[in-house]
Amino acid sequence: MFVVCFLFLIGIVAIAEPIVRFGEQRQYKDRVIYAEQTAFQKIVMTRWKTFYWLFINGQTQFSSFDEEKYHEPLVHPALKLTANRSSILVLGGGDGLAAREILKYPDVRSITLVDLDPKMTNLAQTHPVLLNLNKSSLKDGRVHVINKDAAAFLRDDSNLYGAIILDLPDPDTVDLTHLYSLGFYREIRRRLIRGGIFVTQATSPYFSEKAFLCIKKTLIKAGFSVLPYHNHVPTMGEWGWIIGARSQDQNPLALKKRALTLQFDDLTLKFLNSGAMMSMVHFGKGSVDEKEERDIRINTKLNPELHQYYREGSWGVVDSPF
């Protein structure tokens, strides 16, 4: 009887697995090559022709078609502006693509990468698609992976960093908005060396204008001089980042002037050069650069205004990946 029941259960599992895969596949227009519900999130990878997409909870994290147009602007302006690159902190970035870019600097001695989900960082160290894309960055001896909540890590950490890079998911839940809050930014500011630079992805300045301005205004309130910039990523739409320097280190005008003189010829890059940098720091007429921020509220843990701003965005304008 036990053997019969055991074989029956095996049969159910064998039948259920293709059904689950079929149900997963129906949500995506491209072929699903990997799907897992972890304790923290749903991770899905798809393939179209020779290109790959990574989705977290249904949101596009990157596509191999154009990911350099996101990761190069995220990493290199900040690392060119910092006073010292020897020690870098990455919050998020569990796919290893930001770490890949950081490792292009020979003077980087240590990268601490903090990502909540061990399944994600393990995938980045074992899956052939991600290993090929991230150049095995998370296996490099200079990279120290810590699976921990970013806010908890900052509370417990006492180290200082030349650059802190936030490559976190969009603030589409109240919990995630805490990682874009005033208190969180103040903790980050305390972890920067003198002359250190902070950068965060800041959603889209076009599809989620108020959210972008909320992040900018919250950073200023936290004591940063800020430099907003943007780039068009074909598979994601128009995307934005904000660099922050401690306000006593330099003012916003000086930060922008320095950014306009940056050179990237010493790096092997696919997209970013001095001309692209000049374009990215200018937004054009009628853009967020000219918007009145007076009515934009600061994002705090007790008042997660960013979540509502993000939900009000015109995300329906962007073609759905599903």
* Banded model confidence at residue 11, pLDDT cuts 50, 70, 90: low
Mean per-residue pLDDT, 185-196:
97
- Identity (one letter) of the amino acid at 136? S
How, if at all, do strands 192-201 and 143-146 pair? unpaired
* Banded model confidence at residue 322, pLDDT cuts 50, 70, 90: very low
Q: Give the other-Cβ count within 10 Å of 120's Cβ.
A: 25
Mean pLDDT of the chain: 90
pLDDT at 285: 79
Which region among 5-9, 109-113, 296-300 has the lowest average model confidence (pLDDT)?
Answer: 5-9
Beta carbons of 78 and 272 less than 8 angstroms apart: no
Q: Which residue has the tokens 């108020």?
A: 210
Residue whose C-alpha is closest to residue 229's, from 100, 69, 94, 95: 69
Radius of gyration of the chain (CA): 21
pLDDT at 293: 81
% of the chain residues with pLDDT over 70: 88
Instruction: Output the six-digit token pair for 82.
Output: 């910092």
List pLDDT tens digits, range 213-248: 999 999 999 999 999 999 999 999 999 999 999 988
Mean per-residue pLDDT, 53-63:
94
Beta carbons of 208 and 238 less than 8 angstroms apart: no
Instruction: Output the six-digit token pair for 196.
Output: 């250190």
Is the pLDDT score of 172 beyond 70?
yes
Is pLDDT larger for residue 144 or for residue 27?
144
Dihedral (Cα; 192, 273, 242, 251), 10-degree rounding:
70
What sign results for the dihedral spanned by CA atoms 170, 239, 49, 269? Answer: negative
Q: Give the other-Cβ count within 10 Å of 294's Cβ.
A: 6
**Residues written for the chain:** 322
pLDDT at 52: 98
Compute the distance between CA of residue 76 and CA of residue 283 in angstroms, rounded to an integer.
19
CA 211 to chain centre: 15
Helices (H) and strands (E) in the chain, counts: 12, 11
Compute the distance between CA of residue 99 and CA of residue 111 in angstroms, rounded to an integer.
8
Residues carrying an active site annotation: 167
pLDDT at 249: 84
Q: Which domains can be identified in the chain, with CATH numbers?
A: 68-316 (3.40.50.150)
DSSP secondary structure of 118-173:
HHHHHHHHH-HHHHHHHTTGGGSTTEEEE-S-HHHHHHH----EEEEEEEPPPS-S
* Banded model confidence at residue 318, pLDDT cuts 50, 70, 90: low
pLDDT at 1: 55
Is the pLDDT score of 169 beyond 50?
yes
Compute the distance between CA of residue 273 and CA of residue 36 in angstroms, rounded to an integer.
37
CB burial string 133-157: b at 16+ within 10 A, e below: bbbbbbebeebebebbbbbebbeeb
Name, in order, each residue with C-beta under 8 angstroms of 279's C-beta and a sequence gap of 6 or more: none
Mean per-residue pLDDT, 33-60:
96
List pLDDT tens digits, range 64-101: 999 999 999 999 999 999 999 999 999 999 999 999 99
Is pLDDT larger for residue 197 or for residue 314?
197
How, if at all, do strands 237-246 and 192-201 pair? antiparallel
